[in-house]
Amino acid sequence: MVIVRSKRQSRITGWARYSALVAAALLFLVPFYLLVRSPFMREQDLGSPDFHWLPPVWETSNLTGLFDNPAIPMARSLLNSGLIAVTQTVGVLVVSGLAGYGLARIPYRWSNAVFYTITATLLIPAAVTFVPSFVLVSTLGWISTLRGLIIPGLFQALATFLFRQFFLGFPKEIEEAAFIDGLGYWGTFWKIVVPNSMGFVAAIGTITFIGSWNAFLWPLVIGRDQESWTVQIALSTFLTAQSVQVSQLFMAALVAIVPLLLMFLFLQRWIVEGVERTGIAGD
Amino acid sequence: MTGSRPAGSPRPSLGRRLRGRQDRNLWFWVFVGPFVIGLVVFVYVPIAWSIYLSFFESYNTVTPTTFVGVGNYVDMLRDPAFRNSLLTFLAFAVFIVPTTFVISLGAALLVARTRVMQSFFRSVFFLPTACSYVVAALVWKMSIFSGIRSGLANAVLGWFGIDSIPWLSLAEPPWYWLVIVTARLWLQVGFYMILFLAGIQRISPTLYEAAAIDGAEGWKVFRHITLPQLRATSTAVLLLLLINAFQAFDEFYNILSTFGTYPPYARPPLVYLYYTALGSGQDFGHGSAGAVILTLIIAIVAVVQGRILRLGDRGD
């Protein structure tokens, strides 16, 4: 008797759970729906008193208009964002991968001291120190340069820390065999360890890429000239400008997220793993 | 660098030391050196420099001459705008931390127990993680919460015969909080859901089987098994939420500023700092003092929370 009731009950809770999921999922998709719909609306339809689920007229001129708009250097900013995200991702992987391996595997008297020097900075989020970093970068004359946008972001203590933890768990026997074969630290790392760690590398890489593409505060502080704007700065300038053509603004937003959404769809597995392993968000 | 080299032995050339028998000390620095140098130059030097600047009057210059002692710190702590920025953070944290925690835990529980289309639902909640704060701010400001009738929120209100609300206007009540909190909620729920999902999957099924034999179900199972087993994850999530809320900048800046000006209210610490140090004044002295104070606050929070986290681990 008890079992029968609990079975029926569990079917009811099952349906309730499912409905809640579907409702929440629809709610979460609304902003994406708006992002896809709005760029193809005419300005007067976006501003009309009636809400339109679909554009009454599909307008595609916003795409070409966007790249012809002299106030918003869309093509240039996309290029900048791509360059910055790719070099920063590769740079972080190489610099932190090497450092993490050295800390994990090469015995050295001051290894622990170095490790604590690195982890101490984990307590200080990079965003909080943007004023000091700005002072340094402006002294170097790197304002409005790709150098200034890329290089200070290459040295991420968290990535190094995570690589070290990961390499500590790497099967030592494989490395020892390589070592006996005369590969040395350098050869062992590049020929044996890295090819067998591609999953972890992909996880850290995708998370770094997303963070770099979506970064806002640092590019805002450093990218003073239009030529050095990233796509986020271009969007933000567009958004807070005096007079805005809303439909074109939405087209810019759509263009800005398409690369990441594509990447997301293909690399979701690694992104999820990256989040699970790192606990870091893009910001 | 050559700490363990036996005394008195002749020093071979660098090339030979790299190629020949593995010189561990050298190789350690080949691997770790680039990162450490970068960290020193781009993290430690700026912080040290900032501490130095914070004791000087330094408008528009990074090589100041007028020493003011702790004057900048006193000014900052006395400045009602700075104290308000900390209050703004607190108000923001009070809204965003519990709501994100509850919703992402709820989503994780729902997704974990669904067999049908589990990966689809997970993707839907996780998808916003790929979105930037600027894009979310744009959708929230220009579409969902635009003050006009064709904005989605007001359109929905309209279906129920409710008047439009000017979500982002200067007038009371402060509806802009709803706009800001929901934007961040949408962006970050999926991320924390993944952390909770990972935690849930680590819970041993035997615990649930034992509970089922004892006749426990629903809320009781959650209260006595799931929640205690998620203690480490929960503490980490709370810490991350708090630290991230402390650094809030993007959505405030993009949602609230119009025509290039930011309203005098609703300035969290980083927004306040941005306008103090990098606004028209370029006041690096006060800006640096502010950065040092904020860094200390966040470091203390992290250390205290880390303690609690470790205590929690020991308790399990």
Predicted pLDDT of residue A3? 47
Contact by Cβ (8 Å): B168, B179:
yes
Domain of A52 in residue numbering reads as 2-59
Taking CB atoms and an 8 Å limit, are A185 and B250 in contact across chains? no
Instruction: Judge whether A64 is closer than 8 Å to chain B, CB to CB.
Output: no
Residue-wise pLDDT tens digits, B169-191: 776 678 899 999 999 999 999 99
Predicted pLDDT of residue A11? 78
pLDDT at B216 over 60: yes
Q: Compute CA A165 distance to the chain's CA centroid, rounded to the nearest angstrom.
A: 22
Q: Report if residue A64 sits inside a domain.
A: no
Predicted pLDDT of residue B310? 59
Joined together, the tokens standing for residue A13 give 């809770």
Whole-angstrom distance, CA of residue A47 vs CA of residue A26: 24
Rounded to two decimals, the ipTM of the complex is 0.89
In angstroms, how far is the first alpha carbon of chain B from the final one? 42
A201 and A261: one domain?
Answer: yes
Rounded to an integer, the average pLDDT of A10-32 is 88
Residue-wise pLDDT tens digits, B64-115: 888 888 899 999 999 999 999 999 999 999 999 999 999 999 999 999 988 8
Instruction: Judge whether A53 is closer than 8 Å to chain B, CB to CB.
Output: no
Q: Read off the pTM.
A: 0.88
∠ Cα B286 B288 B294 (to 5°):
105
**Which range has the worst mean pLDDT, A31-35, A56-60, A67-71, B170-174?**
B170-174
For residue B141, the 8-state DSSP code is I
Of residues B226 and A180, more confidence is placed in B226
Rounded to an integer, the average pLDDT of A154-181 is 89
Q: Compute the mean pLDDT over every residue in chain B, rounded to the nearest whole number.
A: 85
pLDDT at B34 over 60: yes
Nearest chain B Cα distance for residue A141, angstroms: 12
Predicted pLDDT of residue A208? 92
Predicted pLDDT of residue A7? 66
Taking CB atoms and an 8 Å limit, are B24 and A48 in contact across chains? no
A169 and A207: one domain?
Answer: yes
CATH classification at residue A132: 1.10.3720.10
Contact by Cβ (8 Å): B304, B314:
no
pLDDT at B314 over 50: no
Nearest chain A Cα distance for residue B173, angstroms: 23
pLDDT at A280 over 50: no
In angstroms, how far is the first alpha carbon of chain A from the final one? 54
Rounded to an integer, the average pLDDT of A244-255 is 90
pLDDT at B60 over 80: no
Q: Report if residue A79 sits inside a domain.
A: yes
Predicted pLDDT of residue B12? 61
Say what percent of chain B tops pLDDT 90: 36
Model confidence band, residue A6 (pLDDT cutoffs 50, 70, 90): low
Predicted pLDDT of residue B167? 85
Q: In the listed set A59, A78, A95, which residue is the last one of a domain according to the structure?
A: A59
Which residue has 């402060």 as its token pair? B174
A88 and A210: one domain?
Answer: yes
For residue B3, the 8-state DSSP code is T
What DSSP element (H or E) covers B66? strand B66-67
Nearest chain B Cα distance for residue A228, angstroms: 17
Model confidence band, residue A30 (pLDDT cutoffs 50, 70, 90): very high
The answer for residues whose C-beta is within 8 angstroms of residue B316's C-beta and 6 or more apart is B228, B231, B232
A175 and A216: one domain?
Answer: yes
A209 and A173: one domain?
Answer: yes
Nearest chain A Cα distance for residue B310, angstroms: 16
A118 contacts on B by Cβ (under 8 Å): 35-36, 39
Crossing angle (nearest 10°) for helices B118-126 and A2-37: 40
- Paired with B66 in beta bridges are B57
Model confidence band, residue A212 (pLDDT cutoffs 50, 70, 90): very high
Rounded to an integer, the average pLDDT of B198-213 is 87
For residue A55, the 8-state DSSP code is -
B155 contacts on A by Cβ (under 8 Å): 51
Rounded to an integer, the average pLDDT of A122-126 is 79
Which residue has 């519990």 as its token pair? B98
Q: Which CATH number describes the domain made up of B72-315?
A: 1.10.3720.10
- Name the percent of chain B in helix, strand, coil, to the closest 5: 70, 5, 30
Predicted pLDDT of residue B13? 66
Nearest chain B Cα distance for residue A38, angstroms: 8
Taking CB atoms and an 8 Å limit, are B31 and A239 in contact across chains? no
pLDDT at B4 over 80: no
Instruction: Judge whether A232 is closer than 8 Å to chain B, CB to CB.
Output: yes
Q: Report if residue A283 sits inside a domain.
A: no
Predicted pLDDT of residue A1? 39
Q: Which of A48, A42, A248, A34 is nearest to B148 (CA)?
A: A48
Predicted pLDDT of residue A36? 92
Predicted pLDDT of residue B208? 86
Say what percent of chain B tops pLDDT 70: 89
Q: Report if residue A178 sits inside a domain.
A: yes
Q: Which of B189, B169, B185 is nearest to B266 (CA)?
A: B169
B138 contacts on A by Cβ (under 8 Å): 235, 239, 249-250, 253
pLDDT at A220 over 90: yes
Whole-angstrom distance, CA of residue B225 vs CA of residue B219: 10
Model confidence band, residue B11 (pLDDT cutoffs 50, 70, 90): low
Say what percent of chain A tops pLDDT 90: 45
B134 contacts on A by Cβ (under 8 Å): 214, 216, 232, 235-236, 239, 256
Contact by Cβ (8 Å): A35, A254:
yes
pLDDT at A32 over 90: yes
Instruction: Judge whether A84 is closer than 8 Å to chain B, CB to CB.
Output: no
Contacts with B, A 98-157, CB within 8 Å: 98-99, 101-103, 106-111, 114, 117-118, 121, 123-125, 127-136, 138-139, 151-152, 154-155, 157
A110 and A8: one domain?
Answer: no
Predicted pLDDT of residue A4? 47
Of residues A116 and B310, more confidence is placed in A116
Of residues A253 and B167, more confidence is placed in A253
Q: Report the phi/psi class of residue A184: left, alpha or beta, with left for phi > 0 and alpha for psi in -120 to 50.
A: left
- Cα separations in angstroms, A146 against A72, A133, A137, A227, B278: 18, 15, 12, 10, 20
The domain ranges of chain B are 72-315
Say what percent of chain A tops pLDDT 70: 95
Contact by Cβ (8 Å): B289, B72:
yes
Predicted pLDDT of residue A2? 43
Taking CB atoms and an 8 Å limit, are B130 and A21 in contact across chains? no
pLDDT at A164 over 70: yes
Q: B59 phi and psi, to 5 degrees?
A: -90, 125
Q: Compute CA B94 distance to the chain's CA centroid, rounded to the nearest angstrom.
A: 14
- Cα separations in angstroms, A77 against A107, A280, B137: 45, 26, 19
Q: In the listed set A14, A33, A59, which residue is the last one of a domain according to the structure?
A: A59
Predicted pLDDT of residue B1? 41
Instruction: Judge whether A44 is closer than 8 Å to chain B, CB to CB.
Output: no
Nearest chain A Cα distance for residue B21, angstroms: 8
A27 and A83: one domain?
Answer: no
Identify which of B31, B186, B191 has the shortest CB distance to residue A106. B31
Q: What chain A residue is nearest to B154 in terms of C-alpha separation? A: A51
Predicted pLDDT of residue B118? 87
The answer for residues whose C-beta is within 8 angstroms of residue A184's C-beta and 6 or more apart is B22, B27
Count of structural domains, chain A: 2
A234 and A105: one domain?
Answer: yes
- Paired with B67 in beta bridges are B56
